[in-house]
Amino acid sequence: MTSLIRFIETGTLGEITIGMERKALERLLGKPQAISLSKKPTIVKYGSLQFSFTSDKTTEKLVSIHIYFDEVMEIPEQLLLEGWLPNKSTSLKEFVGETEISNVRFIEDKKHTIKNLQIGLKSEANVIIIFILEEGIEKLNSIHLSKH
């Protein structure tokens, strides 16, 4: 099963894992909607998902996965996401309540917490969840995983 909860819990998004080659990602998801002009890193975009790759002389390897929560969530249908899918309006309280059902645990991520602006959480798999403070309510902004 591919789910957002599983990604937060394990750091894998379906068959997509840090370290995989860009060619393998494109076999799974098809041609990206956009590719960055920069090559350090190369960023490929699939709707609300962005993947960053670094390259050596022969291959490009996945170093980070980013999910951005905008007004409309666009997730490639090839991922076949199941279960709960939050959106930009999801509050911190709702998010924690939903993930607690699956026993996903977090710690506050001091690196991504900025007083009165945003709150960062980190899962045991080092997945970072960012909430932006809007009108006194924490709203889901993005979820990230980067190579250590």
Residue 64's pLDDT is: 97
Tokens 């002009």 sit on residue? 37
Structural domain range at position 21: 4-146
DSSP secondary structure code for residue 77 in this structure = G
Question: Which SS3 state, helix, strand or coil, does residue 134 take?
Answer: strand
Residue 70's pLDDT is: 82
Q: Residue 100 and residue 102: Cα distance in Å, rounded?
A: 5
- Give the 3-state secondary structure percentages of the chain, helix then strand then coil, rounded to 5: 20, 40, 40
Q: What six digits make up the tokens of 5?
A: 């909860």
Residue 147's pLDDT is: 84
Output the pTM of the full model: 0.91
> Which contacts (CB < 8 Å, 24+ apart) does range 131-134 have?
131/91, 131/92, 131/95
Per-residue pLDDT of the chain (148 residues; tens, 9 = 90+): 578 999 999 999 999 999 999 999 999 999 999 999 777 899 999 999 999 999 887 889 999 999 999 877 888 888 888 888 899 999 999 999 999 988 999 999 999 998 889 999 999 999 999 999 988 889 999 999 998 6
In the chain, the number of structural domains is 1
Residue 81's pLDDT is: 83
Residue 139's pLDDT is: 93
Q: Is 26 exposed, middle or buried (0-12, 13-18, 19+ CB in 10 A)?
A: middle
Q: Residue 14 and residue 4: Cα distance in Å, rounded?
A: 9
Q: Residue 105 and residue 109: Cα distance in Å, rounded?
A: 12
